[in-house]
Amino acid sequence: MLWPLPLEDVDPVAVHAGDERRSRHGRPWVVTNMIATVDGSAADAAGRSGGLGSSADRAVFRALRAVADVIVAGATTVAVEDYGPSRPAASIARDRRARGQQPAPRIAVVSTALGLDPGARLFREAPPDARPIVLTTEAADPARRRALESVAEVRAVGTDRVDWHRALDALVELTGATVVLCEGGPLTVGQLVVDDLVDEMCVTVAPQLLAGPGPRIAHGPASTPARPLVLDRVLCEDGFLFLRYLRDRTGS
């Protein structure tokens, strides 16, 4: 650990589990976890984020999943990264139970087009008592919605785009979530920034230069004003930096 105290051999699971995450806004705490190259690309040359990571990055990824009640991702990320149900290690599931959480976080996918395949492993391999959640809109195609309702909890939380405040309310109603982890992609994170819903931003800086057309970790319309952050922690391994920022709400 480089900041706030230089420490050797930090366990990311223990460090992230020890953080306080209490939203004061009558909604769940929202944390995002994203990786980018030093020159800012959030996707590798193949258009995925997997090629940017390392074993330490995967450890931080698992550590953040370990504290989340729900993992939210955009439909593109779920398809490109071939999401399946989250299956934490036995020790993590045990610690979650001890904290009063479900043994594994639920996965929630955001989509209006509902091009999700009901036969995809995300749905096929999910436990029947923890089916994935699909957050969609009233504009969604009724036949696609019906097909997904046989494998997921589907909620319309917006007219033509998901309203993130309503989406968080739906996650609370379905799961009692107090911590929601958004794993991207950039278009999804960008909306959370604009709606000022990001309480904690975890960013991995991968020691690579890539150039190319890859998106930034948050993309889309700009937030006005910019959202101030305070640096909470920096971990480092193998040249990767793991930055934890908190939304600075002192002025709001």
Ligand X SMILES: NC(=O)c1ccc[n+]([C@@H]2O[C@H](COP(=O)([O-])OP(=O)(O)OC[C@H]3O[C@@H](n4cnc5c(N)ncnc54)[C@H](OP(=O)(O)O)[C@@H]3O)[C@@H](O)[C@H]2O)c1
Using the rule CB under 6 A, is 35 a contact of ligand X? yes
Q: What is the dihedral of CA 66, 228, 22, 26, to 10 degrees?
A: -120
Nearest approach, Cβ of residue 221 and ligand X (Å): 12
Position closest to ligand X via CB: 185
Question: CB-wise, 16 or 101, nearer to ligand X?
Answer: 16
Sequence-distant (6+) residues with CB within 8 A of 216 are 36, 40, 41, 42, 186
Among 113, 222, 230, 231, binds ligand X (CB under 6 A): 113
- What is the rounded distance in angstroms from the CA atom of residue 237 to the CA atom of residue 219? 27
The angle that helices 55-67 and 90-98 make with each other, rounded to 10 degrees, is 30
Place of tokens 């600075």: 248
Paired residues of 201 in beta bridges: 32, 245
Please state, as a whole number, how many other Cβ atoms lie within 10 Å of the Cβ of residue 26. 8
AA letter at 225? P
Question: CB-wise, 95 or 218, nearer to ligand X?
Answer: 218
Nearest approach, Cβ of residue 85 and ligand X (Å): 17
Q: Which residues, 158 to 217, sit near ligand X by CB under 6 A?
A: 161-162, 183-188, 191, 215, 217
Question: CB-wise, 62 or 103, nearer to ligand X?
Answer: 62
Q: Which residues bind ligand X (CB under 6 A)?
A: 34-36, 42-43, 47-49, 73-77, 80-81, 110-113, 115, 137, 161-162, 183-188, 191, 215, 217, 219
